[in-house]
């Protein structure tokens, strides 16, 4: 977490609102113990230990008390309090005492004195800053109550977490609440199972999904697209195993810097093995499998590699945050001279890929060296300069996020907005001088001398799982034709039309379309409705008239209907729509 002083105005506003919320809770529940209350994306939370269980009905009461505190316009006063005095002041607040005793810098308890903010009679340990006074809060709303463990540790005290949101104006608050409502309707954790795409069987363990046949079709479409576009751009497809001995992860630095995200090891007589959290070291070994010359470079190795990351159980979130994920991963090995052009080519590919999904105008961020890092300063400086150079050459605007890079190198991230205005971090491009050093990679230069190549790590979509979750929410389950697991459903009006329906379906399958026939004995109205609920792009209704004339009645998902369309005309249009990866229906 960045120190408070570096946070932007919105974070200050949200943290100040959290502060007032905690004050209100303490007023309403005397004896309340308050833990921590940081700003988060779109809002804030505060954790409490309270004598009773909060319910959503309590939120308006807390809000009402907050409004009284806002009206009182209490200034936030900063004090630097000697450690001993702070221990006395917070004597009845065990979580604050733990923070003071733990000398936690991020919470304002890092020095000889402790940073305390006080307004009226209420005080909190905190680095600040806050808005000037409680009268300067913006528009806010409390959203929900949830359980949370102190320090995120399930062996420790169970606390109650109150979530809220805060914005500078009422209008921005209303927009956000609308987006939130839309997001809830589109939640992939509901839409995905409703469309029979995937599930998370308990037997597998948390964060591990299985794809059902319809989800499998989606994964295949996306996977084929990814592989084809990479081959067309000069990448080689490679395949590597899911497990490797501990020595590999020692050399790569993963055991040193990334062990917290790895599954525990397995053992046999040869030693320890880890399932892979990343594909990089495997691709490095492919590079190193023979002598490379400058003529072999750039070497672009690509793999839809499934990796396993032991994310904390509390952070798992459907397909968005998962423990087994398939990255559209690639590693580019090149000479230092080729670096900027290779990075630029990755930027180009990114824009090309996302244009297909209708995602344009990315927000771009350059992230620099984090606290936990391998490699020396000079390496970091060279890598960061290369990315900066490529960004400047590309002419695209970008922000700098200090300290947000990967442990082995700085990175450039692309964020795209979805249909309801949410921003998603998708593409990552990382520049790495450290792994080639650690694995002693070499190539023979034109000068007949050995040189060290540079390595670019990059994923465009990120992972298929996460990207599919985003697509589900972006399209509210109504995928464009080329991705739709079921593209066409043929609906016979009566049993006597089953034969013709099958004939129509066969013709569509022959044309390469994904088709099903609804031969259930439901009414026509129900069958049409079912196709709509399943978000099938086209339902073809066939009865006597259609059979006689060799036509179909076409209904799209929006309910638009066209009768008497010749089967061949429909085939041609539907295939055209799928092959062109059109985002909208081409049928008028």
Q: Which residues would be at the binding site for Zn ion (CB under 5 A)? A: 19, 117, 124, 126, 280, 457
* Residues paired with residue 325 on neighbouring β-strands, in sequence order: 307
Q: How would DSSP label each residue in 205-263?
A: -TT--EE-HHHHHHHHHHHHHHHHHHHHTTPEE----SEEEHHHHHHHTHHHHTGGGSP
| DSSP 8-class letter at 30 | T
CB 108 within 8 A of CB 9: no
The answer to whether 295 and 276 are in contact (CB under 8 A) is no
126 vs 454 by CB, closer to Zn ion = 126
Q: How far apart are CA 326 and CA 322, in angstroms?
A: 10
Minimum distance from residue 300 beta carbon to Zn ion (Å): 13
Instruction: Kindly state the smallest distance separating residue 331's Cβ from Zn ion, in Å.
Output: 6
Closest CA to 363 of 402, 430, 429, 412: 412
Residue 82 C-beta: closest distance to Zn ion, Å: 19
Which CB sits closer to Zn ion, 159 or 280?
Answer: 280
Nearer to Zn ion, 457 or 557 (CB): 457
Number of helices and strands in the chain (H, E):
18, 28
Q: Which is nearer to Zn ion, 126 or 553 (CB)?
A: 126
Select 24 or 567, whichever has its Cβ closest to Zn ion. Answer: 24
Q: What angle do helix axes 170-186 and 464-475 make, rounded to 10 degrees?
A: 110
Query: Smallest distance, Å, CB 120 to Zn ion?
Result: 14
For residue 127, the minimal CB distance to Zn ion (Å) is 8
Judged by beta carbon, residue 214 or residue 457, the one nearer Zn ion is 457
Q: Which is nearer to Zn ion, 331 or 557 (CB)?
A: 331
Location of structure tokens 């909208």:
584
Q: Which is nearer to Zn ion, 11 or 518 (CB)?
A: 11
Nearer to Zn ion, 279 or 368 (CB): 279
Minimum distance from residue 88 beta carbon to Zn ion (Å) = 20
From the CB of 4, what's the least distance to Zn ion, in Å?
8
CB of 6 to Zn ion, least distance (A): 15
Token pair listed for 259: 């062990």
Q: How do 43-49 and 39-40 pair as beta strands?
A: antiparallel
CB half-sphere exposure, 516, CA atoms < 13 A: 15
DSSP string for 272-326? EEEE-S-SHHHHHHHHHTS--BGGG-SEEEEEEEEEE----GGG-BTTTB-SEEE
User: What end-to-end distance do the CA atoms of the chain give, in Å?
Assistant: 51
Closest CA to 246 of 224, 232, 226, 262: 262
- Cβ at position 327, least distance to Zn ion in Å: 9
Minimum CB distance to Zn ion, residue 108 (Å): 8
Of 124 and 577, nearer to Zn ion (C-beta) is: 124
Q: Cβ contacts of residue 75 below 8 Å, gap of 6+?
A: 119, 132, 133, 134
Q: Which is nearer to Zn ion, 117 or 211 (CB)?
A: 117
From residue 539, alpha-carbon distances to 192, 489, 506, 517 in Å are 21, 5, 15, 10
What does the alpha-carbon distance between residue 172 and residue 161 come to, in Å, rounded to a whole number? Answer: 24
CA atoms within 13 A on the CB side of 194: 17
* Minimum distance of Zn ion from residue 192's CB (angstroms): 28
Task: Say if residue 32 is exposed, middle or buried (CB neighbours under 10 Å; 0-12, 13-18, 19+).
Answer: middle
Least distance in angstroms from the C-beta of 92 to Zn ion = 19
Select 273 or 407, whichever has its Cβ closest to Zn ion.
407
| Overall size of the chain counted in residues | 588
């Amino acid at each position: 977490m960045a120190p408070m002083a570096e946070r932007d105005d919105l974070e200050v506003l949200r943290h100040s609102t959290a502060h007032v919320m905690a004050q209100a809770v303490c007023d309403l529940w005397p004896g309340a113990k308050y833990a921590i209350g940081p700003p988060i994306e779109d809002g804030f939370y505060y954790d409490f230990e309270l004598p009773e269980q909060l319910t959503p009905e309590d939120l308006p009461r807390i809000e009402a008390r907050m409004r009284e505190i806002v009206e009182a316009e209490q200034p936030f006063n900063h004090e630097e309090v000697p450690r001993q005095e702070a221990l006395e002041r917070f004597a009845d607040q065990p979580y604050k005492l733990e923070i003071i005793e733990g000398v936690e810098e991020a919470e304002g308890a890092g020095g000889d004195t402790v940073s305390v903010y006080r307004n009226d009679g209420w005080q909190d340990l905190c680095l600040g800053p806050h808005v000037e006074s409680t009268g300067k809060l913006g528009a806010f709303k409390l959203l929900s109550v949830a359980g949370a463990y102190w320090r995120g540790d399930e062996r420790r005290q169970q606390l109650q977490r109150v979530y809220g949101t805060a914005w500078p104006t009422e209008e921005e608050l209303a927009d956000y609440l609308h987006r939130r409502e839309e997001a809830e309707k589109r939640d992939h954790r509901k839409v995905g199972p409703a469309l029979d795409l995937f599930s998370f069987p308990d037997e597998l363990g948390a964060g591990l999904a299985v794809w059902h046949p319809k989800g499998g079709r989606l994964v295949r479409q996306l996977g084929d697209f990814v592989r084809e576009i990479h081959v067309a751009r000069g990448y080689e497809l490679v395949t590597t195993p899911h497990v490797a001995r501990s020595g590999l992860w020692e050399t790569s630095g993963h055991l040193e810097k990334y062990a917290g995200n790895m599954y525990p090891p397995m053992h046999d007589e040869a030693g320890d093995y880890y399932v892979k959290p990343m594909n990089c070291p495997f691709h490095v070994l492919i590079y190193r499998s023979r002598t490379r010359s400058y003529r072999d470079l750039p070497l672009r190795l690509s793999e839809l590699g499934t990796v396993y990351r032991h994310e904390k159980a509390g952070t798992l979130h459907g397909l968005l945050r998962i423990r087994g994920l398939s990255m559209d991963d690639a590693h580019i090995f090149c000479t230092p001279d080729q670096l900027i052009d290779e990075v630029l080519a990755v930027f180009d590919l990114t824009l090309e890929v996302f244009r297909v999904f209708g995602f344009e105008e990315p927000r771009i961020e350059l992230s620099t060296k984090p606290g936990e890092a391998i490699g020396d300063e000079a390496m970091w400086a060279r890598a960061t300069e290369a990315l900066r150079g490529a960004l400047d050459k590309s002419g695209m605007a970008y922000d700098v996020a200090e300290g947000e890079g990967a442990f082995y190198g700085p990175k450039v991230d692309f964020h795209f907005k979805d249909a309801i205005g949410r921003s998603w971090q998708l593409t990552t491009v990382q520049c790495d001088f450290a792994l080639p050093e650690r694995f002693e990679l070499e190539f023979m230069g034109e000068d007949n001398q050995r040189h060290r190549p540079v390595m670019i790590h990059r994923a465009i979509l990120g992972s298929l799982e996460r990207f599919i979750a985003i697509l589900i929410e972006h399209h509210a389950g109504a995928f464009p034709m080329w991705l739709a697991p079921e593209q066409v459903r043929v609906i016979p009006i009566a049993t006597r039309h089953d034969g013709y329906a099958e004939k129509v379906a066969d013709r569509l399958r022959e044309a390469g379309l994904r088709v099903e026939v609804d031969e259930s004995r439901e009414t026509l109205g129900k069958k049409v409705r079912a196709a709509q609920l399943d978000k099938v792009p086209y339902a073809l209704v066939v009865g006597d008239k259609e059979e006689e004339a060799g036509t179909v009645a076409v209904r799209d998902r929006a309910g638009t209907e066209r009768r008497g369309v010749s089967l061949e005309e429909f085939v041609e249009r539907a295939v055209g729509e799928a092959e062109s990866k059109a985002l909208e229906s081409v049928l008028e």
